Amino acid sequence: MPGYSTENIRNIALAGHAGAGKTTLFEALLQAGGEIQTAGTIERGNTVSDFDPMEKERGHSINSTIASIDHGGVHINLIDTPGYADFRGPTLSALAAVETCAVVVDAAAGIEHSTQRMMDYARARRLCRLIIVNKIDSDGLDLAALVKQLREAFGSECLPINLPAENGSRVSDCFFKPEGDSDFSSVAEAHQQIIDQVVEINEDVMGHYLEDGEEGMSGQELHDAFEQCLREGHLVPICFVSARSGAGVKSLLALIEKLLPNPLEANPPPFIKGQGDAAEPVEPTPDAEKHVIADVFKIINDPFVGKLSVFRIYQGTVRRDTQLLIDDGKKPFKVGHLFKLRGKEHVEIEDAIPGDIAAVAKVEDIHFDAVLHDSHAEDHIHLEPLPFPQPMFGLAIEPKHKGQEQKLSNAIHKLGEEDPCFQLEHNKELNETVIRGLGELHLKVMLDRMKERYGVEVETRPPRIAYRETISARADGHHRHKKQTGGAGQFGEVFLKVEPLKRGEGFQFADEVKGGTIPGQFLPAVEKGVRQVLDGGAIAGYQLQDVKVIVYDGKHHPVDSKEVAFVAAGKKAFLDAIAKARPIVLEPIVNLDVAVPESHVGDVTGGLAAKRARINGTDALRGGELVIKAQIPLSEVTDYSNELKSMTGGQGRYTLEFSHYEPVPPNVQKQLVEAYKPRHEDD
Ligand SMILES: Nc1nc2c(ncn2[C@@H]2O[C@H](COP(=O)(O)OP(=O)(O)OP(=O)(O)O)[C@@H](O)[C@H]2O)c(=O)[nH]1
Ligand SMILES: [Mg+2]
């Protein structure tokens, strides 16, 4: 057994905007906890967390990283997460594994886009929240104003638990030992505010406090009330640090040890059993003796160790010889080697208890989000899915060197395992392989990985748009297929009508042939010919939809009528009818939500109006942001991330989802038809 119990574990994710100093703080905490001798820096590229060469090169985190601190009798599992919105995949995954989300804020930059997002995600997931104001060593700060802004944006429940002193070179504790000076506000005032907030949570505690004062309350009573406050979102402590100078870091460590929830506390993880309406909540108990329930929140395809699956244990004990099942799979695997992670290092351990985070190596069947357990009674259990953003940024790819198709598909599969926001799409209609991610940077990093880790280089281009074709009028079509080559000939003649169907109704085929002018056995051939047009379209090379075909007359020949003849006649008669039925090209329309600071709303709506968008309105968000809701052709937003970035200086974000198909404007149709003609002529 490890030298600590579940009660002594703390699981904390450091989240927040890019550059706020999470990785540097991770380093400072490891040093303060005695895990490393000297703290590395981003500038020197020697931190425990940003060990990946691509992270060092960019000076930003790309992956989430885990390390533990054993200090003051407490085992802290700390997860550093990337701040860039492009890497939300690993960041949000980490939130599934912790009780506390510590949102790191740059003291000089204040509330930034990801500060807001991470606070929102953490609250929606009912995690305990802590705000860490970092870089208090910076010049020209107005921290009193920042506290005010934090309270305005995230509620008056955000209260300082310590205050910077001596020009940010140390902090004064406002909770345990409220004495000493501070750079702004006062320690006594901050203390009173936080105590008032804590005792308010519970009538008994309040009564006790009013009667006997703070001195009359036991440490346990205060701890429990504090923990309840965190759990219910009634208190979000703000603390101050400088990860660079170390000011406030010891104080933060003490706060983690003494006040943050252990896995027996906080809100229970949102596990459910079954799916849809039949799904029922399940609450694992962090009991070491019970069946194992663990959730895989991270996959690492390590080039040396192979596949590492990192999981958080919610119930039971995982040992080296434990046989575990994956989801509702029938075949168990044996754990074999069990690890704790420490940045890039893996430290082998014998067993892991409820509340802890550990990893197993080389189990190919494990996937992100899998539940590991040791009894079929726990089949079909899973965590409520995380609200991952939909990856809409796409690139069509092809291997640079022929023959690397298999290698490419393996690489994409491996990268997709590690990041739930990296997806692959194969569009059969357009014969195109498209990778999708959250932004340009995201896909660039993935392509670099493919090259470095798996040795596959690819050519990229913007993905083609999945246009469709349809008709807008009724028309007649006719074709007589006749071939006389030497002996036996081919003969078949077809008369048909086409009618537009409602959008989304697809394709219908009806037989209204009277008097056997086309014998029954040849009708499937006619339908086959007609269907040959559906996939490739008639005018621009796109799938044809929402058309009804009625075959009503024809002619046959007792000797020369053959299947091939009616296939050919059906196809040509259909093309003839379409040409007269005012064919049109349809384009996908998407719902676009753009969130931007109020000051950019004018630019963004103006930009959208120039792109054939219909603006349906705006909604106000917290923190002075607005969401502009619009419908827009997909073809107009294939490069929207770059455009929005340059328009808003990186402060905007957007989501896209498919809505419906609509006809393209005549000039676009003309271009698409022109572009198709040369390829189509010899048909
Ligand atoms: N002055 C000052 N600079 C700091 C402090 N902490 C971090 N920095 C600097 O801020 C920059 C960003 O720090 P990181 O630790 O990489 O920030 P991060 O939050 O991990 O950023 P992402 O990984 O992109 O999300 C680096 O240049 C750090 O040296 C601090 O306390 N004071
Ligand atoms: Mg970082």
In the Cβ-directed half-sphere of 328, how many Cα atoms lie within 13 Å?
7
pLDDT reported for residue 429:
60
Look at residue 118 and give its three-state secondary structure: helix
Mutate to test the pocket of ligand 1, among 14, 23, 171, 441 (most ligand atoms within 8 A of CB): 23
| E-state strands within 93-231 | 100-106, 128-134, 158-160, 162-165, 170-173
**Residue whose CA lies nearest to ligand 1 atom number 30:** 135
Nearest CA to ligand 1 atom 11: 19
Is the distance from the beta carbon of residue 83 to the nearest atom of ligand 1 less than 6 Å?
yes
Instruction: State the pLDDT at residue 118.
Output: 94
- Among residues 117, 122, 102, which one has the least CA distance to residue 248? 102
- Give the DSSP H or E segment for 27: helix 22-32
Top mean pLDDT of 239-243, 434-438, 641-645 is at: 239-243
Whether 77 lines ligand 1, by a CB cut-off of 6 Å, is: no
Instruction: Evaluate: CB of 248 within 6 angstroms of ligand 1.
Output: no
Distance 12 CA to ligand 1 centre (A): 18
Ligand 1 center from residue 19 Cα (angstroms): 5
State whether the beta carbon of 420 lies less than 6 angstroms from ligand 1.
Answer: no
Q: Alpha carbon of 215 to those of 187, 208, 218, 232: distances in Å?
A: 18, 10, 8, 25
pLDDT tens, residue by residue, 656-671: 777 889 999 999 999 9
The length of the chain, given as a count of residues: 683
pLDDT digits (tens, 9 = 90+) for 415-467: 999 999 999 888 766 678 889 888 888 999 999 999 998 999 999 988 888 88
According to DSSP, the residues that pair with 69 across neighbouring strands are 76
Q: What is the DSSP string of 558-612?
A: TTT--HHHHHHHHHHHHHHHHHHS-EEEEEEEEEEEEEEEGGGHHHHHHHHHTTT
Of residues 250, 258, 24, the one with CA closest to residue 134:
24
CA of 305 to the centre of ligand 2 (A): 24
The pLDDT tens digits of the residues spanning 539-593 come to 998 889 999 999 999 999 888 888 999 999 999 999 999 999 999 999 989 888 8
Q: How far is CA 105 from CA 214, 238, 477, 522, 665, in A?
A: 31, 10, 69, 73, 47
Residue 279 has pLDDT above 70, yes or no: yes
Residue 623: pLDDT band with limits 50, 70, 90:
low
Q: How far is the CA of 406 from the centre of ligand 1 (A)?
A: 40
Atom of ligand 1 nearest to the CA of 50: 23
Over residues 601-606, mean pLDDT:
93
Instruction: Match 């006749």 to its residue by tokens.
Output: 482
pTM across the whole model: 0.80
Which atom of ligand 1 lies closest to the CA of 47? 15
Q: Which ligand is nearest to the CA of 87?
A: 1
pLDDT confidence of 682, banded at 50, 70, 90?
Answer: very low
- For residue 29 and ligand 1, the question of a CB distance below 6 A is answered with no
Cα dihedral across residues 74, 172, 108, 58: positive or negative:
negative
Supply the pLDDT for residue 277.
Answer: 77
CA 600 to ligand 2 centroid distance, Å: 28
Number of the ligand 1 atom closest to the C-alpha atom of 27: 15
pLDDT (mean) for 220-248:
93
Could you report the per-residue pLDDT of 97-125, keeping only the tens digit for each?
Answer: 999 999 999 999 898 888 988 999 999 99
Cα 15 to middle of ligand 1, angstroms: 12
CA of 129 to the centre of ligand 2 (A): 19
Query: Coil, helix or strand for 668?
Result: helix
Single out the residue of 273, 213, 220, 25 nearest to residue 135, CA to CA: 25
In whole angstroms, give the CA distance from residue 145 to residue 109.
12
Q: Is the pLDDT of residue 683 over 60?
A: no
Q: Is the CB of 138 under 6 A from ligand 1?
A: yes
> What is the residue type of 306?
G
What is the per-residue pLDDT across 508-540, written as a single tens digit (0 to 9) for each? 999 999 988 999 999 999 999 999 999 888 999
90 lines ligand 1 (CB under 6 A): no
Residues sharing a CB contact under 8 Å with residue 432, sequence separation 6 or more, in sequence order: 396, 426, 463, 464
Q: Give the residue whose CA is nearest to atom 14 of ligand 1.
A: 21
pLDDT tens-digit map of 154-189:
999 999 999 999 999 999 999 988 888 999 999 999
Q: Which atom of ligand 1 sits closest to the CA of residue 55?
A: 23
Ligand 2 centroid, distance to 570 Cα (angstroms): 63
User: Is the per-residue pLDDT at 52 higher than 60?
Assistant: yes
CA distance 12 to 528: 61
Pairing label, strands 9-16, 100-106: parallel
